Amino acid sequence: MAKVDAKRADGGAHAANVARGLRESALWIFGARVIDPTMVALVGISLMLITGIVSWADIVSNTPAWNVLVWFATLIVLADGLNKVGVVDWFGRGASSLLAGRAPLVVTAALVALFFALHYIIAGLAAHTTALLPVMLAAGASIPGVPVRGFAMLMVFSLGLMGVLTPYACGPSAVYYESGYFPRRDFWRLGLIFGAIFLAALLGIGIPYLARDYL
């Protein structure tokens, strides 16, 4: 009987935790106009501490999570700083000037590859999109013969592939990196290999396909 009661209690606690998580997720997703997503995360952590789901010792001893927070936040701020001082804009305009006079398909492939490779110096897809996409689109559009619509589609498609490159490429990458399943050297090596495969597939398949209608 005691075992049955214990199982029921565990089941009830689990259901309560799931319900709390769903409420916080809904607030995080749909309540951005009312409350900042960061505040939602802080409220969620506070509630877990108050209700005893986790202890302060559990939070403090979670070294991988603190590692992700410190270097991910640092790299995001660094990328934002590079954008504010004009380094990203200068780099994009310099690349467009070097490619001026080339064949449109060559320019398209080169700018997409550059856009993809520059994710090594920027943390997160949102920061990458905000800092680089307008600059690279403007650089491509300034070169005669480059079809902006097809070029923009290739650039946006590449955003869905570059998350494999580095531990700070996107949010899930940081979680995978700190999970311990991938040694540090293998993570970088496999990111480079698969990033090259994905980029080659994007350019090798995407350019001929889009060339029929947009290029």
Give me the residue spans of the domains in the chain: 2-61, 65-211
pLDDT digits (tens, 9 = 90+) for 93-139: 777 777 777 788 888 888 899 899 988 877 778 778 877 888 888 88
Band of residue 25 on the pLDDT scale cut at 50, 70, 90? low
Sign of the C-alpha dihedral computed for residues 129, 117, 150 and 104 taken in this order: positive
Q: What would the two tokens of residue 89 be?
A: 């804009």
36 vs 205 pLDDT, higher one: 205
Section 134-162 average pLDDT: 85
Lowest mean pLDDT of 11-20, 113-122, 198-207, name the range. Answer: 11-20
Q: Which of 24-38, 78-92, 151-165, 169-183 has the highest mean pLDDT?
A: 151-165
Backbone angles phi, psi at 200, to 5 degrees: -65, -40
pTM of the model: 0.66
Q: Which residues contact 67 (CB under 8 A, 6 or more apart)?
A: 178
